[in-house]
Amino acid sequence: MEILYSNIPPLIIGQDQKAIANEIKANIALSDKIVFAVGYVSRNSLIELDLSLIHI
């Protein structure tokens, strides 16, 4: 499993990052099964998580 990035503005992927659409096109014919996991993390949610871990 690896992290893939959206190349939809305003997010522009870097040279060392892989775009979701490109990886699907490159690997779909090689696969007998596809599993997607989707997530979103905001800066504020990471701060809140960090603060909650301090109190443990």
Higher pLDDT, 52 or 38: 52
pTM over 0.75: no
- Eight-class DSSP state of 30: G
Q: What are the Cα distances from residue 44, in Å, to 19, 34, 39, 40, 48? A: 25, 31, 15, 12, 6
Strand intervals (E) in the chain: none
Give the residue carrying structure tokens 């990035």: 5
Judge whether residue 1 has pLDDT over 70.
no
Per-residue pLDDT of 20-51, as tens digits, reads 788 888 888 899 988 888 877 888 888 888 88
Q: How many CA atoms lie within 13 A of 19 on its CB side?
A: 12
Per-residue pLDDT of 3-22, as tens digits, reads 777 666 666 778 888 887 88
